[in-house]
Chains A and B, each alone.
Chain A
């Protein structure tokens, strides 16, 4: 049984601060996706990482895939109120079937003006 943990579960910070969200798995995974969900909406893909050690940037968001392919992080620089939302990591495990991705429980992020 693969265990997937996201931390922190909740985070409330002031506008302009930096933050990091973590996603850790008990098993090696093939790829990882980060989604963002706003209230009343479905999750929307932010990025997919497939290579160990990979770093991707999306404006003020930096996504890192661990070398051992068991962890990932999302770093936001100079957070804005528009970054508020639920951030979900989703893992694809080697040999995973059509039952799709395994989702973390999410990080609720609030950026206060």
Chain B
């Protein structure tokens, strides 16, 4: 009954370091999303995936890369972290896009601080 699991929950990086955030869902959902949440900015879409092996850019993709090698996992990578990437990152998934049925299940978030 895990739903969407994000790891790690907290991470502190120095500028220029790289890291990967892992999102795993056990609901067999096709669609997965990475958002960042900043004060006063709401949730902004970084990248998303419509199925295994596919990825697409969202509203704020610069500085991030993603991969979806397995249906249940969606990885978010930062190749060279910058202080502007300090944020709380949320992964979400949904089974489909039928109107009114496009309901997102979110993970608990990963808080990243870049010094």
Q: How large is the interface on A (under 10, 10 to 19, 20 to 34, 35 or more residues)?
A: 20 to 34
A binding-site residues for B, Cβ under 8 Å: 9, 30-31, 33, 35, 40-45, 48, 50, 88, 90, 92, 98-101, 103-106
Q: For the complex, would chain A's binding face be called helix, strand, loop or mixed by DSSP majority? A: loop
B binding-site residues for A, Cβ under 8 Å: 4, 31, 33, 40-43, 45, 48, 50, 56, 58, 90, 92, 94, 97, 99-100, 102-109
Residue among A31, A40, A98 with the highest chain B CB neighbour number at 10 A: A98
Q: Which single member of A30, A40, A48 contacts B109 (CB below 8 Å)?
A: A40
Least CB distance, A113 to chain B, in whole angstroms:
25
A-B contact count (CB 8 A): 63
B109 with A42: CB separation less than 8 A: yes
User: Which 3 A-B pairs rank lowest in CB-CB distance, beginning with the nearest?
Assistant: A42-B106, A105-B42, A50-B100
Q: Which single member of A41, A50, A100, A105 contacts B104 (CB below 8 Å)?
A: A100
Least CB distance, B48 to chain A, in whole angstroms:
6
B33 with A42: CB separation less than 8 A: no
Tell me, in angstroms, the Cα distance from A40 to B94 when the chains sit together.
21
